């Protein structure tokens, strides 16, 4: 299996160009649908209030945006940002009540919004694909209002040795599933390797802390298969 690194921006762009049409289907197949529970847990911990503004970076097909709008009864605004135009088009189709949602093709490292603008910044399964995570975190801090909250959902390090062994064994099948469903295995080889190479919970915790965020904390889900990191701009 080839080794992939997130600092290859062209590769990451190509990966998502290849898979966006069946992105939701593959997420369901690879996680047995559990990703939907992770995202609900994510929004539950965010606990967004009505009449607030959310920026959802690496928004993909809009799962987090929709959950946020449902939570605030559509009394809030969402700005969905993603580099992949195809993803954004699927995002638009998924969220039919779109009078309080806007879509932007953009990069986490250079957001086109003014400083101190958003109440919440979310990114789910996207931060590990960013070329320079520190720059992305600085941008997150910049666009949040004082008192604003950063929340990140990402694959992490499994704490239980037996579960970790089982997970690693299962992950070898993911490129095979990708070839069967999408017709290509390479994007899913990238997926598996990017997860393996991403930081531990504690290392990512420190990275967030180093960008001036306060009250940093995290929660493991399913034994650390994924983790949610939370932080505040004070």
Give residues with Cβ within 8 angstroms of 101, minimum separation 6: 65, 69, 77, 78, 79, 80, 95
CATH superfamily placement of domain 9-232: Vaccinia Virus protein VP39 (3.40.50.150)
Arithmetic mean of pLDDT over the chain? 89
pLDDT band of 84, cuts 50, 70, 90: confident
| Token duo for residue 133 | 């995570």
Using one digit for the tens of pLDDT, what is the confidence trace for 47-56? 999 999 999 9
How far, rounded to the nearest angstrom, does the alpha carbon of residue 47 sit from its chain's CA centroid?
A: 17
**Domain residue extents for the chain:** 9-232
Question: 226: burial class by Cβ within 10 Å (0-12, 13-18, 19+)?
Answer: buried
Please compute the mean of the pLDDT values over residues 65-72 and round it to a whole number.
94
Residue of 232, 13, 2 whose CA lies nearest to 130: 13
pLDDT in tens, 87-133: 888 888 877 666 789 999 999 999 999 999 999 999 999 999 999 99
Q: What is the pLDDT of residue 2?
A: 38
> Which class for 162: exposed (0-12), middle (13-18), buried (19 or more C-beta within 10 A)?
exposed
pLDDT of residue 184: 81
Mean pLDDT of 151-172: 94
């Amino acid at each position: 299996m080839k080794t992939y690194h997130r600092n290859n921006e062209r590769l990451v762009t190509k990966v998502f160009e290849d898979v966006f049409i069946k992105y939701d289907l593959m997420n369901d197949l690879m996680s047995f649908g559990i990703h939907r529970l992770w995202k609900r847990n994510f929004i539950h911990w965010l606990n967004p209030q009505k009449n607030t503004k959310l920026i959802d970076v690496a928004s993909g097909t809009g799962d987090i945006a929709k959950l946020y709008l449902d939570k605030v009864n559509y009394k809030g605004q969402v700005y969905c940002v993603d580099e992949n135009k195809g993803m954004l088009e699927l995002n638009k189709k998924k969220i039919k009540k779109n009078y309080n949602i806007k879509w932007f093709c953009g990069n986490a490292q250079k957001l086109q919004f003014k400083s101190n603008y958003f109440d919440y910044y979310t990114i789910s399964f996207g931060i590990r694909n960013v070329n320079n995570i520190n720059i992305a975190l600085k941008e997150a801090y910049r666009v949040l209002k004082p008192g604003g909250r950063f929340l990140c959902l990402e694959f992490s390090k499994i704490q239980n040795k037996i579960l970790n062994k089982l997970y690693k064994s299962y992950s070898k099948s993911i490129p095979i599933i990708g070839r069967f469903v999408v017709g290509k295995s390479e994007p899913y080889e990238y997926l598996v390797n990017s997860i393996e190479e991403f930081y531990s919970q504690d290392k990512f915790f420190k990275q967030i802390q180093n960008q001036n965020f306060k009250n940093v904390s995290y929660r493991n889900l399913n034994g650390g298969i994924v983790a949610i990191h939370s932080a505040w701009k004070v």
